[in-house]
Amino acid sequence: MTKKVLVTYSSFTGSTAGIAEEIGRIIEAEGHEINLLAMTDVEDLTGYDALVIGSAIQKGAWLLEAQAFVRQFSGQIKKIPTAMFSVCMTLAMKSGEQYRSGVMDWVGPMRALIQPDVEEIFAGILNVKMVPDFGERLKFRLAILFGIWKAGDNRDWGKIRAWGNSLKQSILAG
Kindly report whether the global pTM for this prediction surpasses the value 0.85: yes
Query: Above 90 in pLDDT, residue 16?
Result: yes
pLDDT digits (tens, 9 = 90+) for 23-81: 999 999 999 999 999 999 999 999 999 999 999 998 889 999 999 999 999 999 999 99
Cβ neighbours of residue 84 closer than 8 Å, sequence gap 6 or more: 52, 53, 54, 107, 110, 111, 114, 116, 118, 119, 120
What's the rounded Cα separation, in Å, for the pair 96 and 55? 18
List, for residues 80-139, the tens digit of each pLDDT value: 999 999 998 888 777 667 777 888 889 999 999 999 999 999 998 877 777 777 888 888
Beta carbons within 10 angstroms of residue 87's beta carbon: 33
Residue 136 pLDDT: 81
Sign of CA dihedral 99, 64, 24, 89: negative
Strands (E), the chain: 4-10, 33-38, 50-58, 61-62, 82-87, 118-122, 125-126, 152-153
pLDDT band at 20 (very low <50, low <70, confident <90, very high): very high
Q: Answer whether residue 151 shows pLDDT above 90.
A: no
Higher pLDDT, 143 or 82: 82
